Amino acid sequence: MLKLGIEPDVVTLSTLINGFCKQSKISQAVCLFDEMVEKGYQPNLIIYNTILNGLCKTGNTDRAIRFLRMMEERGSEPNIVAYSTVIDCLCKNRLLNEALELFSKVKAKGIRPDIVIYNCLIHGMCNSGQHMEATRLLNEMVDNNISLSIFTYTILVDAYCKEGTISEAEAIVDTMRKQGIEPKVVTYNALINGYCLQNKMDKARRVLQLMIKKGYAPNILSYNIMINGYCKAKRLDKAMELFHEISQTGLIPDTVTYSTLMQGMCQLGRVSTACELLKKMVASGQVPDLVTCSILLDGFCKGGKLEEALKFFQAMWNSGVELNIVSYSILIDGLCKTGHIKVAKDLFCELSINGLKPNVYAYAIMINGFCKEGLLDEAYQLFRSMEDNDCLPNNCCYNVMIQGFFRNGYTSEATQLLTEMVGKGFSANLWTATIFVDLIIPSNKSILI
């Protein structure tokens, strides 16, 4: 277009900006926006809102707020959509005070808040446990003659269920029905999850059946919630019943379904059954992700099947699964606990070679492994190297190292490190405190007598 001398208009440029935002290429979208302004184009509200939405979806909260201010400074008054986008972003990032401040600003400007803004704020308050503030906003909605939507009710049902107050959630559902609003699948799922969290699986099952009776077909999430509940209750037979029921409904089990079942099997020590399920998963066309593979790897390690764990880890590598620090840590931990310290050390050294950076959890595992094998020098050297590798030791790492010193008779070193730990604001855990007390009590017995 440019070569032909055809000057793109606002519609053309806004289409390009929208494309960049959809592909999360927000920097390119902002550059094009700046180029538009420099060339004298006057961006409309659609372009501004597109950029705002792109910034919020890519987690650029601060930039979104600055962009909103820039709109105001340039005389392009943000509309309710713009404010809703930013308020939603602030709530999702738990910046609730900032969200409420912006909400107050919206009202001060004479803009009437809609149900979308209220839902965003109520959802944010409920997720942060600020139920009183959520109730205040609900009352404000009623005072402003804004009818509660199915989404508003579902937010409340979900919040009460997660808080463990199922009776309150049930009361909300009753209120919905009195208002002529029939619960939808998402509402039923929230209620099912509430019962599962309290291990009331029979009631959860009845809600699922009621849902079907009311003419709402459960989705795969409904079944995944139920299966997870049964697995946590160690009722694997019921979980498998539901798994077989899925195919009869025309739904297809997803990665979460298989991962949840495999987790339940591994927790009961049925690793071989989990392996069989993995084969079924692959045969059905589902591709196991890193989470699924890590569950089975953890099952092998906790079941003491280190040879199978190493083979499976290698298979993960060969199949192109992008291994992360979690998968490495699972295997390193399994190797350390079974006394294979040399293999664990080699694997730990591989992390940096493969472009991974050990976190405090990985360091704690390796330090503990060295301590258990009596390799205190190597453990302490690794402990002191953490800071050089931009990974500051935390409370766990200090306690592991101190316990290692105590158990191997390095009392003065342990006491010195304990003093250092307290000086940095950390505290001894129960195990460290018990070992320390056991050491000092004998020396005080004669004084007490």
- Helices 96-108 and 80-92 cross at an angle (nearest 10°) of 160
The Cα–Cα gap between 288 and 312 comes to 13
The Cα–Cα gap between 266 and 345 comes to 26
The secondary element (H helix, E strand) that includes residue 385 is helix 376-388
The Cα–Cα gap between 208 and 13 comes to 49
CB 328 within 8 A of CB 356: yes
CB 17 within 8 A of CB 32: yes
pLDDT along the chain (449 residues), means of 10: 82 87 88 85 85 88 88 85 91 90 91 90 88 86 87 90 89 88 92 95 94 93 97 96 92 96 96 95 92 96 93 92 92 94 94 90 95 94 92 91 90 90 86 76 46
The Cα–Cα gap between 182 and 353 comes to 57
pLDDT of residue 366: 96
CA end-to-end span of the chain: 97
Report in angstroms the alpha-carbon separations of 100 from 56, 117, 122, 289: 17, 10, 11, 39
What secondary structure, in 3-state letters, does 387-443 show?
HHCCCCCCHHHHHHHHHHHHHCCCHHHHHHHHHHHHHCCCCCCHHHHHHHHHHHHHH
pLDDT of residue 440: 64
CATH 1.25.40.10 placement within the chain? 148-245
Q: What is the distance, to the nearest Å, from the Cα of residue 106 to the centroid of all Cα atoms in its chain?
A: 31
Phi/psi for 26 (5° steps) reads -70, -35
CB 58 within 8 A of CB 30: no
Residue where the block lists tokens 């009460």: 160
DSSP-assigned letter for residue 286 = P
pLDDT of residue 71: 87
Residue where the block lists tokens 């006491």: 415
Which two three-digit tokens encode residue 126?
Answer: 């409920």
- Name the residue type at position 96: L
The Cα–Cα gap between 396 and 66 comes to 39
The Cα–Cα gap between 53 and 346 comes to 46
User: Which residues have CB under 8 Å from 191's CB, separation 6+?
Assistant: 157, 161, 166, 169, 170, 173, 183, 207
Which two three-digit tokens encode residue 301?
Answer: 């390690």
The Cα–Cα gap between 404 and 371 comes to 5
Whether the model clears a pTM of 0.85, i.e. scores above it, the answer is no
Q: Which CATH architecture has domain 148-245?
A: Alpha Horseshoe (1.25)
pLDDT of residue 203: 95
The Cα–Cα gap between 167 and 191 comes to 10
pLDDT of residue 447: 38
CB 56 within 8 A of CB 88: yes
CB 368: neighbour CB atoms within 10 A? 21
Q: Closest Cα to residue 212, out of 245, 241, 179, 181?
A: 245
The Cα–Cα gap between 111 and 109 comes to 6
